[in-house]
Amino acid sequence: MTSPLNPFQIDQCLPQIQCRQCGLPSCFDYAKSISRGESLINRCPPGGEITIKALSRLTANAIIPLDPECGAPRELCTAIIVEDHCIGCTLCIQACPVDAICGTAKQMHTVITAECTGCELCVEPCPVDCIDLESHTEASVGEPSPWSGYSARAVERARQRARARNQRLYQLSSDSQQSVPANREHLRQGIRESVKRVRERRNSARSGCSTS
């Protein structure tokens, strides 16, 4: 009888982008799914062939090509908020799996570049399309990781920040369940009003350019 796979060991084979391209909420959830035999080892595009080979050695499963349904490997990038267009809706803050975006409601948000994993999860929720992605051109500092452009320190920090965020959200969820519906509707209304104002400003700017 074979011993069960350790999800913590499996998690060490993942680059900790927390992108959810594997179809699960976090890298550790994917690791647990592999340990239970519920997921194949080829569902991590950021890890690519390096991760597949590492997982193959650890799990004694055959090396298989990356699952195309999960997407293709892509270069490391960093999210940038176009601050002039930001309406302070906080949706990007809620989407970031490593708490790499700071700001408060109705105030300008900023990406903590050193903590951003380039997961791209903040892009789609933004109602005013004010988040751009820039190629990560800085060389990794410190001990390298198996993945090009990632330092071992950055990988571990992303892992710890993701776990800390999940623990914080779990603790908050039981305390705020009763007020969530009212708060969400208030937030939606504020976002709708802010989006309307931004669109009016943009349309006004375009009209001014066309008449000049």
Q: Per-residue pLDDT tens for 145-182?
A: 899 888 999 999 999 999 999 999 988 876 665 455 55
Residue ranges of the domains in the chain?
7-70, 77-176
Rounded CA-CA distance 155/147 in Å is 10
7-70, superfamily in CATH? Electron transport complex subunit B, putative Fe-S cluster (1.10.15.40)
Rounded CA-CA distance 144/99 in Å is 23
7-70 matches 77-176 in fold = no
CATH code for residues 77-176: 3.30.70.20
pLDDT confidence bin for 1, thresholds 50/70/90: very low
Residue 157 tokens, joined = 């920090």
Q: Is 112 exposed, middle or buried (0-12, 13-18, 19+ CB in 10 A)?
A: middle
Provide the terminal-to-terminal Cα distance of the chain, rounded to the nearest Å.
79
